[in-house]
């Protein structure tokens, strides 16, 4: 498992490793410095400048310079004086001075191939003191490749280093994952420095990798039939939104559901008859293209019901949702307008059911929770978990990352691409999740569905262009996403977050 830790939790893991396990601080520092140096050497620099303050983050950078010197790289360092100097920093600076490398007295005018940012680590807390601003400005105004140690210095204040790469140690931290800060870290590499798993104080936040989802891809028995592969009912497509539920239905079929039924307003039957060929259409009683009732359907024949994709917000819609939740006791997925209806009618008590899965984006979750969007984005992981704990339903919160809160854990997927910021991608996810929910436990279905959805988006963007991304093409590429996951490296997380095997 790849755990995601807060800075405070990482400090506890360090303390446990040093005091309880018995690995000295300088040994951990040497491991970190060697891992950092190996990465910097991969950039093939001729000259490197470390910009540091006098804590252990700066000490890591100075120890790294020693390894670079051994490989013939020209190295200098610039020290921003801090109110506290750690013993480890004194030791590392003394070693460099013994090698005739002394701190620069002022900002250098020459250009370095690489600047190592070793001002602050994850233990930094705002506000940023004014005396450090010139050092951050110097780094950001340079044309050098910037490699931050642990995290770009200054995050989470409003003044911070903008790195090309960030090298962190042991486990990813929340700031490496959460936006807006993650985008300023560049490509992130997590290096193993021998901090044991036994010292991790919180194992509820888990970063999904290929290893976690590859075993979840269903394996069909030789004598299976369509009835054994999941029977899904999707309800939506009211008014002008017939495309939403249609895309969900296509995605459910492509994700492997044996039978996909689509409940739509009776007036839409003709318009979708040539598009939804593989799916079974159910014309529902409706008025002016809005569904009025589903009471003629035998709900118990289905393994999963999903509602909300293109539903609209109206009173009969609320009654339909209540009807399903009161009578259907298998997996129910609530998406889009089903959630907006819950918010409008202040009916969050309906969500207190472990069989329910909700899939809001940030705006929909803000309406459900009454938490401002900015707060949600900056605290998405823990807020997802808190909502799950409070209501008991499983939650998929969609944003620049996707969080999955279910069965007392919080899983994070960093798969996907900005190209997916386009109408219809959420409907595709709902269809895929419905297919998996129809034939596997909730936790497995959500992890596989979310990760696969992100990979399908990446494949689609790669084949096309970020601006020309097509949701219809994404549905077709679900099959490619299955193949990709089956052959990918187990420790692969995403295109810009790289985890060393642990």
CA-CA distances (angstroms) from residue 138 to 41, 65, 143, 185? 23, 20, 10, 17
Over range 147-163, report the average pLDDT: 96
**pLDDT tens string 119-141:** 999 889 999 999 999 999 999 99
pLDDT in tens, 203-218: 999 999 999 999 999 9
- Tell me the mean pLDDT in the region 431-459: 98
In the structure, what pLDDT confidence band is assigned to residue 382 with cuts at 50, 70 and 90? very high
- For the cut 80, the answer to whether the pLDDT of residue 464 exceeds it is yes
Mean pLDDT of the chain: 96
Percentage of the chain surpassing pLDDT 90? 97
pLDDT at 306 exceeding the cut of 80: yes
Residue keyed to tokens 């020309």: 468
Question: 118 - beta bridge partners?
Answer: 52
**Fold exhibited by the domain 211-490:** 3.40.1190
* pLDDT of residue 388 exceeding 80: yes
How many whole angstroms separate alpha carbon 79 and alpha carbon 135?
A: 9
Helix segments in 337-424, DSSP class H? 337-344, 362-369, 373-378, 380-391
CA atoms within 13 A on the CB side of 201: 13
pLDDT band at 154 (very low <50, low <70, confident <90, very high): very high
- State the pTM of this model: 0.95
Look at residue 502 and tell me whether its pLDDT is greater than 60: no
Architecture of the domain defined by 2-203: 3-Layer(aba) Sandwich (3.40)
Tell me, what's the pLDDT at 167?
98
Instruction: Tell me what pLDDT residue 501 has.
Output: 62
3-state helix, strand, coil in the chain (%, to 5): 45, 20, 35
Residue 199 — very low, low, confident or very high, per pLDDT cuts 50/70/90?
Answer: very high
Whether the per-residue pLDDT at 392 is higher than 60: the answer is yes
- Inform me whether the pLDDT recorded for 37 exceeds 80: yes
Query: Using an 8 Å Cβ cutoff, are 115 and 144 in contact?
Result: yes
Please give the pLDDT value at position 477: 98
Res 82: pLDDT? 78
Tell me: pLDDT of 260 over 60.
yes
Domains 2-203 and 211-490 share a fold: no
**Distance of CA 328 to CAs 118, 258, 311, Å?**
56, 20, 19
Q: How confident is the model at residue 201 (pLDDT cuts 50, 70, 90)?
A: very high
Q: How many helices (H) and strands (E) does the chain have?
A: 18, 20
- Token pair in block for residue 106: 């002022």
Is 252's pLDDT higher than 60? yes
The number of C-alpha atoms within 13 Å of 357 and in the hemisphere containing its C-beta is 33
Q: What is the mean pLDDT of residues 30-56?
A: 97
For 74-185, list the strands marked E by DSSP. 74-80, 114-118, 145-149, 165-169
Domain extent listing, the chain? 2-203, 211-490
**What's the token pair of residue 35?**
């891992």
Residue pLDDT, tens place only, 65-123: 999 999 999 999 999 987 789 999 999 999 999 999 999 999 999 999 999 999 999 88
Q: What is the pLDDT of residues 80-95, one digit of tens each?
A: 987 789 999 999 999 9
């Amino acid at each position: 498992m790849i755990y995601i830790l807060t800075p405070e939790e990482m400090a506890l893991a360090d303390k446990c490793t040093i005091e309880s396990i018995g690995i000295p601080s300088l040994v951990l520092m040497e491991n970190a410095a060697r891992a950092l140096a190996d990465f910097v050497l991969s950039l093939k620099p001729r000259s490197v400048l470390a910009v540091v303050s006098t804590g252990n983050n700066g000490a890591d950078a100075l120890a790294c310079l020693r390894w670079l010197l051994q490989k013939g790289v020209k190295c200098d360092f610039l020290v921003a004086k801090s109110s506290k100097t750690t013993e480890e920093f004194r030791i590392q600076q003394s070693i460099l001075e013994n090698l005739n490398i002394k701190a620069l007295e002022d900002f250098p005018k020459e250009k370095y191939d690489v600047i190592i940012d070793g001002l602050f680590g994850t233990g930094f807390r705002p506000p940023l003191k004014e005396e450090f601003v010139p050092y951050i400005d110097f780094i950001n105004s340079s044309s050098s490749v910037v490699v931050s140690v642990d995290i770009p210095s200054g995050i989470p204040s409003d003044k911070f280093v903008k790195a090309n790469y960030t090298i962190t140690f042991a486990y990813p931290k929340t700031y490496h994952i959460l936006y807006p800060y993650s985008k300023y870290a560049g490509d992130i590499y997590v290096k193993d420095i021998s901090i044991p798993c036994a010292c991790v104080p919180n194992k509820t936040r888990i970063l999904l990798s290929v290893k976690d989802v590859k075993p979840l891809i269903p394996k069909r028995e030789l004598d299976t039939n369509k009835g054994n592969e999941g029977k899904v009912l999707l309800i939506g497509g009211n008014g002008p939104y017939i495309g939403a539920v249609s895309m969900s239905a296509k995605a459910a079929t492509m994700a492997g559901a044996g039978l996909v039924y689509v409940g739509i307003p009776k007036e839409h039957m003709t318009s979708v008859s040539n598009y939804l060929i593989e799916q079974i259409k159910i014309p529902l009683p409706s008025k002016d293209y809005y569904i009025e009732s589903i009471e003629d359907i035998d709900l118990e024949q289905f393994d999963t019901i999903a509602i909300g994709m293109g539903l609209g917000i109206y009173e009969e819609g609320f009654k339909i949702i209540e009807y399903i939740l009161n009578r259907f006791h298998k997996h129910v997925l609530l998406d889009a307008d089903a959630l907006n209806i819950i918010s409008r009618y202040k009916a969050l008590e309906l969500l207190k059911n472990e069989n329910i899965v909700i899939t809001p984006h940030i705006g929909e979750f803000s309406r459900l929770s009454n938490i401002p969007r900015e707060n949600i984005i900056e605290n998405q992981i823990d807020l997802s978990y808190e909502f799950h704990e409070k209501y008991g339903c499983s939650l998929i919160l969609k944003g620049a990352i996707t969080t999955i809160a279910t069965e007392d854990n919080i899983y994070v997927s960093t798969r996907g691409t900005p190209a997916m910021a386009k109408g219809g991608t959420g409907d595709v996810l709902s269809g895929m999740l419905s297919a998996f929910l129809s034939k596997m436990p909730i936790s497995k279905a959500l992890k596989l569905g979310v990760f696969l959805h992100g990979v399908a988006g990446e494949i689609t963007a790669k084949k096309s262009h970020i601006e020309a991304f097509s949701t219809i093409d994404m549905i077709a590429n679900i099959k490619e996403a299955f193949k990709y996951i089956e052959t990918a490296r187990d420790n692969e997380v995403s295109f810009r977050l790289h985890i060393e095997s642990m």
